[in-house]
Amino acid sequence: MAVPSGPHQLVVTYNGHHHLQVPFLVAPTQLIDVAAEPEETLQRKLAYASIGTAGVTAGAAVVFGVLSVIAFRRSRDLLFDEGVATQEDFEKYVAAVSAADDFRVGSGTTGGIALGLFVVGATLFAFDEPVAPSVGRAENAGRIWFRVGF
C-alpha cells in the first residue's frame, strides 16, 4: 500500500495473539517489506493444551472401554463355556465381572473428563480475541492498522 514518506508504525492484531507494533521508516519512492509475527496469548496456549489433553484422555477412555469388553467376555466365557462348578471358578467369575464393571466406570469417567476438557479448550479458543488499541485516538496518527483473521 502507498504511504507517505516518514515514520510509521504497523500494528498487527490476530485472533489468539498479542497485538504487535512494528515501527518503520519510509523514504520517498521506497518499497519495503515489514515482517511481523505476533506471539500467541496465554489463553490460546491453554486452549491448545486443554484440547490436546482432552484427546489423550479420550484415548484412555477408549482403552478402558476395550478392557471392559475383554473382561466382560472373559466373565461370560467362565460362566457359560467353562462353568462355575467350584468356589475357585466362582471367584474367577466374580473377579472378571468386577473388572468389567471397574473398566466400564473408568471409561465413562475418563470420557466425561475428556469432554469437559474439550469444552473448556474450545471455549478458551473461541473467545480469545486480541485486545487492539483504539484506532481513533490522536496518538495513533501515522499508524497502519491490519486485522488478520482466519
pLDDT at 147: 47
Map out the domains of the chain as residue ranges. 6-40+129-148, 42-126
**Helices 87-126 and 42-76, axial angle in degrees (round to 10):** 160
CA distance 146 to 10: 8
pLDDT at 142: 46
Distance of CA 2 to the CA centre of its chain: 40
Are residues 118 and 54 in contact, defined by beta-carbon separation less than 8 angstroms? yes
Measured from the Cβ of residue 106, the count of other Cβ atoms closer than 10 Å reads: 17
Q: Global pTM? A: 0.69
C-alpha cell at 125: 479458543
pLDDT in single tens digits along all 150 residues of the chain: 667 778 877 777 777 777 777 787 878 777 777 777 788 889 999 999 999 999 999 999 999 999 999 999 999 998 888 888 889 989 999 999 999 999 999 999 999 999 999 999 999 998 887 665 554 444 444 444 554 443
Query: What is the β-pairing status of strands 20-26 and 6-14?
Result: antiparallel
pLDDT at 133: 56
